[in-house]
DNA sequence: CCGAGTTACTTTCATAATGCAAGTGACTCG
DNA sequence: CGAGTCACTTGCATTATGAAAGTAACTCGG
């Protein structure tokens, strides 16, 4: 087994990366959000080799983020559309987008997020749903209801993220 | 050049993945947030091979997310600490964490985020800094100030993310 | 009916990334 | 003096990535 799998790790970050952590996967999802659905659309938009695209689309379908759907019978042609699980991945893209614009756009921002009604730029911030307050330094990682004894002990000592 | 580089793409998501998109990188960052700084701490926590760890730490330092710091003279020993740029990556980890817990914890959540003062669980949501409203369906991706003509044309047709 | 075009791939093969195992070097401590 | 700690490096096998070319099932224009 080459490339250590992360899906047996208890950490949800690790498990997520196990599904979308391969090269190209997240960019394919981005393009799916952009509205692309066809094989050749992804191929052209990304400049990805077709064999790589085949592998990634297959993996993303198996992970349940995309669905392969027949859109024409003869010849059989499929399109790839986001599932609910896939659509729920957008918050990750927003935060990746924001970080990239803050730190990797020395020549200025080439692409920005805007509000579809007002047209004003959007600056994504993560808050707690309950309190509405921005998450800050010192957010704790703690054992959850399904934690093993080992994990519980690991997180007895306060751990932040 | 094997593995297509993403850093010349205008999309900030692509550029971000160019820096942190390799296997292990984001888990190393996670552990850095957990407070780990030493080589052997990362090695044990992750179960990563030492040569891989060396490569990733080097890449993360070169990308400016970690800083290699001498903490003892003889023998020379270094620790790896997050830079401001690295610390700013936390929102991505929070959203990855939340997605993983929602979709990849069928046996229940093993690890959760909590408020350090109240101890209550935290549910990360992305909002717009200006309006405070949660980002929803239909957030637009538009050409920014530094966009080329080509890009500007690409995003004339409304594109959501 | 023939050839060009479209769409969605597969196959083959080179090269680079990942990872296991073992070794190294500079110390400290008993 | 030998064991232990810490932070790696080296050598080598295996797998992932990617470029190039080929395939298959159609449609459409002349």
- Do residue B108 and residue B154 come from a single domain? no
Give the pLDDT confidence score for residue A74 in this predicted structure. 80
- Do residue B30 and residue B60 come from a single domain? yes
How many domains, chain B? 3
Give the pLDDT confidence score for residue B2 in this predicted structure. 85
Structure confidence at residue B1 as a pLDDT band (50, 70, 90): low
Q: Residue A80: which of A119, A118, A33, A37 has the closest Cα?
A: A37
**Which range marks the domain in which residue A155 is found?**
125-161
A8: left (phi over 0), alpha (psi -120 to 50) or beta: alpha
- Do residue B5 and residue B82 come from a single domain? yes
Lowest mean pLDDT among A64-78, B29-43, B80-94, B109-123: A64-78
Is A70 (CB) below 7 Å from strand D? Answer: no
- Do residue B28 and residue B71 come from a single domain? yes
- Do residue A28 and residue A59 come from a single domain? yes
Task: Provide the CATH number for the domain around residue B53.
Answer: 1.10.10.10
Contact A11 B88 (CB under 8 A): no
- Do residue A27 and residue A71 come from a single domain? yes
Which bases on strand D have an atom closer than 7 Å to a protein beta carbon? 6-11, 14-22, 24-27
At residue B101, φ and ψ (nearest 5 deg) are: -70, -35
Size of interface A-B (CB pairs under 8 A): 306
Contact B12 A141 (CB under 8 A): no
Min distance B3 CA to chain A CA atoms (Å): 8
Contact B158 A3 (CB under 8 A): no
Q: By the 8 A CB rule, do A36 and A66 touch?
A: no
CA of A61 to C1' of C7 (A): 20
Report whether pLDDT(B95) > 80: yes
- Do residue B26 and residue B38 come from a single domain? yes
Interval B60-78 mean pLDDT: 93
Structure confidence at residue B140 as a pLDDT band (50, 70, 90): very high
Q: Is the dihedral angle over the CA atoms A96, B141, A16, B114 positive or is it negative?
A: positive
- Do residue B3 and residue B82 come from a single domain? yes
Q: Residue B110: beta bridge partners?
A: none
Structure tokens at B42: 């990362």
In chain A, % of residues over pLDDT 90: 93
Residues 1-20 of chain B with CB under 7 A from strand D are: 2-4
Structure confidence at residue B104 as a pLDDT band (50, 70, 90): very high
Structure confidence at residue A26 as a pLDDT band (50, 70, 90): very high
Q: Which residue of A has its CA nearest to B113?
A: A141
Structure confidence at residue A133 as a pLDDT band (50, 70, 90): very high
Is A42 buried (19+), middle (13-18) or exposed (0-12) by CB count in 10 A?
Answer: buried
Give the pLDDT confidence score for residue A146 in this predicted structure. 96
Is A119 (CB) below 7 Å from strand C? Answer: no
- Do residue B105 and residue B66 come from a single domain? no
Torsion over CA of A100, A34, A87 and A67, rounded to 10 degrees?
A: -130
């Amino acid at each position: 087994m080459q490339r250590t799998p992360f899906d047996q790790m208890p950490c949800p970050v690790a498990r997520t990366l196990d599904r979308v952590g391969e090269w190209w996967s997240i960019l394919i999802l981005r393009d799916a959000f952009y509205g692309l659905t066809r094989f050749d659309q992804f191929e052209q938009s990304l400049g990805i080799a077709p064999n790589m695209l085949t592998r990634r689309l297959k993996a993303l379908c198996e992970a349940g983020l995309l669905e392969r759907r027949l859109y024409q019978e003869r010849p059989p042609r499929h399109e790839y559309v986001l599932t609910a699980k896939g659509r729920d991945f957008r918050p990750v893209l927003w935060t990746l987008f924001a970080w990239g614009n803050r730190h990797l756009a020395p020549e200025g921002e080439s692409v920005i997020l805007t509000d579809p009604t007002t047209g004003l730029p959007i600056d994504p911030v993560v808050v707690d749903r309950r309190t509405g307050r921005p998450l800050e330094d010192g957010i704790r990682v703690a054992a959850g209801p399904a934690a093993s004894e080992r994990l519980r002990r690991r997180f007895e000592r306060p751990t932040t993220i």
